[in-house]
Amino acid sequence: MFKDESGRLVNVPSVETLRKAMKERTCKGRNTSDKAQSPLKSLMDQIGETVRGRLADARLSPSEDDARKFILREFARIGKPPSENAIAEAMNLPTIESANQLVEKLHKADILTKEGDEIISAYPFSARATRHRVIFKDGHEVYALCATDAMGIHFMLREDIAVRSRCPECESEMKIELKDGEVISCVPEGVVEFVSSREQCGCTAKTFCPFMNFFCSEAHLEKWQDKNPVYGKGEMYRLHQVLEHGKYIFGDFLK
């Protein structure tokens, strides 16, 4: 729950509240281990607000937002981003150049990332291989940028999915099945998520997502933390919490 401008408790923070939160975190180069920054919010709440606030701040026109949604739906449908040709055609744009400009605007707003002319990610999807695969009912797959994103895809698309993710400590694969907003199976049972507090700022796809992973057990997370002191500070979440975070960040991403 969040407080709106008049102090009422609401389910979703207003754009104003998010803007204020974003302003309070003008965070060039600051580390979230700086407790004075936001002592009450969990690391994941802060990240969620950043992702959602970014969308609010981008102030996309209705047609630009339609293009954003088209890119996400295509990413899910074919497992990779649509070509600029396909974007131009779907959006009734006169030229490929106008599709390029549109994609560039989404890139500048950090809604997607590009390398050269190529879209390489659009939250929550990645065109490049990551630790997190999302498998749809018909068997086709897409990579998610991070553990929370993988769970969020379930809420964004409202489709049953299976998440397969590799533990950074032992490289074994975990399998989490999601249906109707719940985790219906998880193998092995003790899976946890760890979010490293290093580098919250800048582009989330580049700075954060490599540090938001599932571990097959708390014991393996601890082992990994011992070996990786630089990234080992952060917060651990149980699956039901990851589910809530995924829902909060991506639940209305396509609405």
Task: List contacts with Zn ion (CB under 5 A).
Answer: 167, 169-170, 216, 220
Bond from prior residue into 188 cis (ω within 30 degrees of 0): yes
Task: State which residue, 170 or 203, has the beta carbon closest to Zn ion.
Answer: 170
Q: What separation in angstroms does the CA of 205 have from each of 159, 216, 236?
A: 23, 23, 20
CB of 223 to Zn ion, least distance (A): 8
Round the CA-based radius of gyration of the chain to a whole number and report it: 18
Distance (Å, whole) CA 134 – CA 149: 10
CB of 174 to Zn ion, least distance (A): 8
Task: State which residue, 170 or 187, has the beta carbon closest to Zn ion.
Answer: 170
Distance (Å, whole) CA 13 – CA 157: 21
Task: State which residue, 154 or 166, has the beta carbon closest to Zn ion.
Answer: 166
What token pair was written down for 85? 């040709």
CB of 167 to Zn ion, least distance (A): 3
CB of 196 to Zn ion, least distance (A): 16
Distance of alpha carbon 95 from the chain centroid: 31
CB of 216 to Zn ion, least distance (A): 3
Task: State which residue, 43 or 174, has the beta carbon closest to Zn ion.
Answer: 174
Task: State which residue, 170 or 184, has the beta carbon closest to Zn ion.
Answer: 170
Sequence-separated (6 or more) residues with CB below 8 Å from residue 176: 151, 162, 163, 165, 183, 185, 186, 187, 191, 214, 239
